[in-house]
Structure 1
Amino acid sequence: ESMLPTFGAEPRLAPNPHAWAVPADKEPPFVLDISSSSVAANKIQLLRRMKSMTIPGLIADDKGNPIMDEREIPDYTWILPNGATRELGSHKGYGMSAVAQVFGGILSDGAFGAYERGHMSHFVAAYSIEAFTDVARFKKSMDEFLKYLRETPPAPGHDRVFYAGLPEHEESIDRHERGIPLHREVIDWFDQTTAEFNMAPLERAEGQ
Structure 2
Amino acid sequence: MIITEPTIRKFTQNIFLAIGCGQEHAQLAADVLLKSDLRGIDSHGVARLSGYVRLWEKGRINPTPNIRVVHETPTTATVDGDAGLGLVVAPFAMQVALQKAELYGSGWVSVRNSNHFGIAGYHALMAVEKDMIGFAMTNASPLVAPTFSNERLLGTNPMCYAFPAGNYPPVIVDMATSAAANGKLEIAQRSGKQVPEGWIQDAEGNFTTDPHALKSGGSLLPLGSDRDHGSHKGFGLSATVDILSAVLSGANYGPWVPPFVAFMDPAKDPVGEGIGHFVGAMRVDGFRPVDEFKHHLDNWIERFKSATTVDPSQNVIIPGEPELEAEIDRMQNGIPLVDAVVNDLNELAVRFGVQQLK
TM-score band w.r.t. shorter chain: 0.7 to 0.9
What is the aligned counterpart of 1:107 among 223, 228, 248? 248
Closer/same/farther in 2, CA of residues 116 and 180 from structure 1, 3 Å limit: closer
Q: Distance in 2 between matches of 1:21 and 1:157?
A: 29
Change in Cα spacing, 1:141 to 1:92, as seen in structure 2 (3 Å) is: same
Q: In structure 1, the residue corresponding to 2:325 is in which secondary structure?
A: helix
Return the offset for 1:114: 3.0
* 1:118-157 matches, cutoff 5 A: 118-156=273-311
What RMSD in Å do the two structures reach over aligned CA positions? Answer: 2.0
The secondary structure found in structure 2 opposite 1:38 is: coil
- Higher RCO, 1 vs 2 (CA within 8 Å, ≥6 residues apart): 2
Secondary structure, in 3 states, of the residue corresponding to 1:100? helix
Q: Distance in 2 between matches of 1:28 and 1:115?
A: 38
Q: What is the CA distance between 1:157 and its match in structure 2?
A: 7.0
Aligned pairs for 1:3-82 within 5 A: 3-67=144-208, 70=209, 73-74=212-213, 75-76=215-216, 77-82=218-223
Q: Which has the larger radius of gyration?
A: 1
Residue pair 1:25, 1:143 contacting (<8 A) in 2 also: yes
**1:116 CA displacement:** 5.9
Report the 3-state secondary structure (helix = DSSP H, G, I; strand = E; otherwise coil) of the residue aligned with 2:159.
strand
Normalised by the length of structure 2, the TM-score is 0.52
Q: Larger strand proportion, structure 1 or 2?
A: 2
Determine the structure 2 residue equivalent to 1:194: 349
Deviations 1:4-45 (A, max 9, x none): 000002111111111000001111100111000011112213
- The AA in structure 2 aligned to 1:4 is A
- Between the aligned partners of 2:211 and 2:247, the Cα distance in structure 1 is 38
Name which of structure 1's ranges 1-10 and 190-199 shifts more when overlaid on structure 2: 190-199
| Deviation for aligned residue 1:62 | 1.1
- Cα pair distance change 1:157/1:192, threshold 3 Å: farther
Of Structure 1 and Structure 2, the greater helix share is in: 2
- Long gaps (5+) in structure 1: 204-208
Question: Which is further off, 123-132 or 96-105?
Answer: 123-132
Residue of structure 2 equivalent to 1:206:
none
Q: How many residues align?
A: 201
Question: Identity over the aligned pairs, expressed in percent?
Answer: 30
What SS does the aligned partner of 2:232 have? helix
Between the aligned partners of 1:127 and 1:189, the Cα distance in structure 2 is: 40
Q: Could you tell me the TM-score, scaled by structure 1's length?
A: 0.87
Matched, 1:160 2:315: yes
Residue equivalent to 2:43: none
